Amino acid sequence: MVTLVNKVIKEKDSNFTMDAIETTGQYQKIALLVREWVEIHKGESFDLDMICRQLQIQERTNRKYVAIELSKIVGKGTLEKVTSPIHKPLYRYIDNTCKYIDWVNASSSDVLDIKWPYGVEDDSRFGFDGRVKISPGDIVVVAGTSNMGKTAFCLNFLWENMDAYSCTLMGNEYTPGKFKRRVSKMTWREPINDKGESKFELIERREGWKDIIRPDNINIIDWINLSDKFYEIGKIIEDIQARLHSGIALISIQKDEHKTRGLGGGFSEHLASLYLSIDYERLTILKAKEWAEWNPNGKMYGFKIVNGGTKFHNIRLLRKCKSCWGSGRGKGGQCEPCNGTGYVDDN
């Protein structure tokens, strides 16, 4: 067999080379094993060493047979061979399956009637309320500094929508008693139905959120802890969105107080239809992909949180202070017009 291969390799006629190799019974057996292995490992990338190791092929001639069969599969367009001057060549399975979107027969009025948190006592509201359009499958991201209102926003969002939609709240800091004490203060809505059951699911979850996403629910995740792997947030959000059907997901993430976006930066924003940033008593609309009548992008709102961290109050439009341009510092120290906050009411 070795003699045949050496003779074939020296042969100048490439057609004869392939014909000669393919007539050997050993090649045919290995080619079948390779085709079966590639079919099983769709969607994976691999190199020659990996497939030979898993097929328990060690002999040099048989490895050449594997390489030849892989080249044939590349020629058919099933695999792509990716070469690099540094790394070993990789074979990547080409997935040419398509999910076609029937936009012609789709409804253009599939916008969800989402209700947003508001000032319960004074009826003050954020500017995106009634303007931002949220459709099935959309992602809303709320990025906030620690203990500045992320959970209050998530719970108020739940409270405003639990009567109209099936809702699931996933938390990593909730305990039964602690949760009950907090929501017992939110008396403007009743969270228990006529059967004495909760109107929403409450689930403790710290990782693997995509596995328990309810495709047709409003899924509220409070919050995703990235540890030091901030770069993973984009993939996490992508996997969550892939699970959605007629439902949506509101995802809360941590934010550094000196940064505009949440941990992971732009990776946390790319797939969001609405991206909100919360700092101390200030909410900024960083991204609203679709809106009606008035563009809320870039708008800032001041607010207070009262009633034990459960109610929004005195929501109003803000702008940067013209005296300090948002720095909060004046000639004598603290900027007087904005009281050192860097922002004033936009009356």
Residue pLDDT, tens place only, 221-231: 998 887 777 77
pLDDT at res. 7? 39
pLDDT at res. 168? 96
Residue 141's beta-bridge partner residues? 251, 275
Least reliable range by pLDDT among 8-12, 62-66, 172-176: 8-12
Q: What radius of gyration, in Å, describes the C-alpha atoms of the chain?
A: 29
- For range 60-72, the mean pLDDT: 91
pLDDT at res. 278? 94
Reply yes or no on whether the pLDDT at 10 is more than 70.
no
Other C-beta atoms lying within 10 Å of the C-beta of residue 121: 13
Tens digits of per-residue pLDDT, 104-127? 877 777 889 999 999 999 999 998
Q: How far apart are CA 343 and CA 323, in angstroms?
A: 10
pLDDT at res. 17? 52
pLDDT at res. 22? 60
Nearest partner of 95 among 42, 51, 59, judged by Cα: 42
CATH of domain 2-93: 1.10.10.10
What are the sequence ranges of the domains in the chain? 2-93, 139-315
Q: What pairing do the DSSP bridges indicate for beta strands 139-144 and 274-279? A: parallel
Local confidence band at 99 (pLDDT 50, 70, 90 cut-offs): confident
Percent of the chain residues topping a pLDDT of 70: 93
Q: How far apart are CA 228 and CA 207, in angstroms?
A: 14
Q: How far apart are CA 219 and CA 240, in angstroms?
A: 10
Reply yes or no on whether the pLDDT at 8 is more than 70.
no
Reply yes or no on whether the pLDDT at 296 is more than 60.
yes
pLDDT at res. 52? 93
16/277: higher pLDDT: 277
pLDDT at res. 18? 53
Confirm if 329 and 346 have CB atoms less than 8 A apart: no
Give the angle 109-113-119 at the CA atoms, nearest 5°. 150
Least reliable range by pLDDT among 38-42, 101-105, 174-178: 101-105
Reply yes or no on whether the pLDDT at 60 is more than 70.
yes
Structure tokens at 223: 């919050």
298/6: higher pLDDT: 298
Least reliable range by pLDDT among 95-109, 193-207, 223-237: 95-109
Question: Was domain 139-315 assigned CATH 3.40.50.300?
Answer: yes
Q: What pairing do the DSSP bridges indicate for beta strands 311-320 and 343-345? A: antiparallel
Local confidence band at 325 (pLDDT 50, 70, 90 cut-offs): confident
Buried b (16+ CB within 10 A) or exposed e, 288-318: bbebeeeebeebbbbbebeeeebbbeebbeb
pLDDT at res. 246? 94
- For range 286-291, the mean pLDDT: 93
Q: How far apart are CA 5 and CA 60, in angstroms?
A: 10
Local confidence band at 9 (pLDDT 50, 70, 90 cut-offs): very low
pLDDT at res. 87? 73
Structure tokens at 183: 């929501």
Confirm if 118 and 77 have CB atoms less than 8 A apart: no
Nearest partner of 118 among 151, 153, 142, 88, judged by Cα: 153
- Mean pLDDT of the chain, nearest integer: 87
Least reliable range by pLDDT among 84-88, 202-206, 259-263, 335-339: 84-88
Reply yes or no on whether the pLDDT at 19 is more than 60.
no
Tens digits of per-residue pLDDT, 184-194? 999 999 999 99
- For range 29-35, the mean pLDDT: 92
